[in-house]
Amino acid sequence: MKILLDECVTKRLKNHLTEFDVFTVTELNLSGIKNGKLMNYCVENNFDILLTIDKNLMYQPKSSQVSCNNCSIKLLYE
């Protein structure tokens, strides 16, 4: 499973996910990229999960439609 950790998620989490292929936004030089472009990047590069705590993700405009098979977005709030 290929996972991308958004910049708002601590990169220390990567150390606990050793059974997966985990990358950080910073490692891939994607810091500061807009949510829609980041989601498209994930699809284009075959990521299975974009792990984020960014609550603004749910407000993405439809212009950044992402097509993927068997994917879902689950938003968790405190």
Regions of the chain short of the pLDDT cut 50: 62-65, 69-70, 72-78
Q: Distance of CA 29 to CAs 23, 24, 25, 76, 77, Å? A: 11, 9, 6, 26, 27
pTM exceeds cut of 0.85? no
The span from the CA of 55 to the CA of 41, in Å, is 19
pLDDT for the residue 28 = 95
Domain boundaries, the chain: 2-64
pLDDT for the residue 27 = 95
